[in-house]
Structure 1
Amino acid sequence: MSKNGNITQELNYVTANRFYVEIESQLTASFTECDGLGVQVKKEVLFEGGVNEQQRVLLGQSEFSDVTLRRGLSDSSVFWDWISPLMAQRTGNQAIKNHRRNVNILVFNQAGEIMQCWTLIGAIATGWKAPGLQAHATTAAIEELTLAYEGIKVTFKTKSGGASILEGRGQSGYFSSN
């Protein structure tokens, strides 16, 4: 109990091991790792003649890094079902029309409340890797899925976002964020 008698303050911290991933409107799997979540804004630095103590910084487009999800191998085929149609022969973008998802990465506090939700907008699987197998190994077999996405939405202290299969882009040319 805290000094002011409020237990919830002690349970309000977030640790890196309390997270879930939602794909197709459900908690899909327990993941052991989630790496690469981030954005980098491109910049151009200009120097002005005679101004030696400053520089001008012009901002450009945002670039989102790929996210890699890792989990212990299981009998769930959700990763393989998502990426295998992308390897098929296709004309144009027809084969990948319904393979984009909004994916939620949910982080919980010690009390089990959602503290933050990152929604990867228009995510698509761009890589899948089977676990390395060794006859003398005693560690869990880990498979991984790599996702590229078109945007990100961050919400705080929310309910789950209901990550969904995306039917197509809206009139604006972008995917909605749920």
Structure 2
Amino acid sequence: MAQSLSDPYRGFRFRVEIAGIQIAAFSEASIPDITIESVDYREGTDPIYKRPLSGLSTYGRVTLRRGLTDSTDLYEWQQQVLNKGSTTTRKNISLILIAADGQDKCRWNIINAWPTKYETGGLNASSSDVVVETLEIALDYMTRVK
């Protein structure tokens, strides 16, 4: 019997949870990439072949974007890192993908995250664009739990 195909989830319904910070919404959130280095290894008895071994793992950055509001939570978190360093200011973040029926479908837990860059969009008197606040975040590691 043929297995029925299901439609893939769409990326426009999501929620971001940051431990200790209550934030209404983000317009964009990136899921960090994971890269595992390949290390070539050749044994002395092997005359011509090298074989790849897994090396160090690295995680990309999380980028969060939202329209600028009265809330200064993200800016204050970045300032804490600036003043105290990242050791005591790290937070766990969850990125949750929501299906069309409103159910949580995928969840990525980002562990020991801290902001590395805070940026606010420019001001332009001839534009009606929303001013966007961007936070770039480093992390120790990430797990997909759902």
- What TM-score do you get using the length of structure 1 for normalisation? 0.69
2:11 to 4, 11, 16: 16
CA contact (8 A) 2:21 2:73 kept: no
Amino acid in the other structure paired with 2:89: H
2:56 to 19, 43, 61: 61
Q: In the alignment, which residue of structure 1 is the partner of 2:25?
A: 30
| Structure 1 unmatched ranges of 5 or more | 1-8, 157-178
Q: In the alignment, which residue of structure 2 is the partner of 1:84?
A: 79
Query: Distance in 1 between the 2:115 and 2:94 partners?
Result: 14
Q: In the alignment, which residue of structure 1 is the partner of 2:123?
A: 133
- Counterparts in 2 of 1:43 and 1:18: CA distance versus 1, 3 Å: same
Task: State the Cα RMSD in Å.
Answer: 2.3
CA contact (8 A) 2:81 2:114 kept: no
Q: Percent identity?
A: 25
Structure 1 range deviating more: 68-77 or 41-50: 41-50
CA contact (8 A) 1:68 1:146 kept: yes
CA contact (8 A) 1:14 1:109 kept: yes
Q: In the alignment, which residue of structure 1 is the partner of 2:136?
A: 146
**1:106-121 equivalent positions in 2, closer than 5 A:** 106-121=96-111
Query: Distance in 2 between the 1:110 and 1:87 partners?
Result: 39
Q: In the alignment, which residue of structure 1 is the partner of 2:92?
A: 102
CA contact (8 A) 1:21 1:27 kept: no
How far does residue 35 in structure 1 lie from its aligned partner after superposition? 2.5
- What TM-score do you get using the length of structure 2 for normalisation? 0.83
Please give the secondary structure, in 2, of the residue aligned with 1:17. Answer: coil
Deviations 1:101-144 (A, max 9, x none): 11000101101111111111000111100111111112211110
Number of corresponding residues:
139
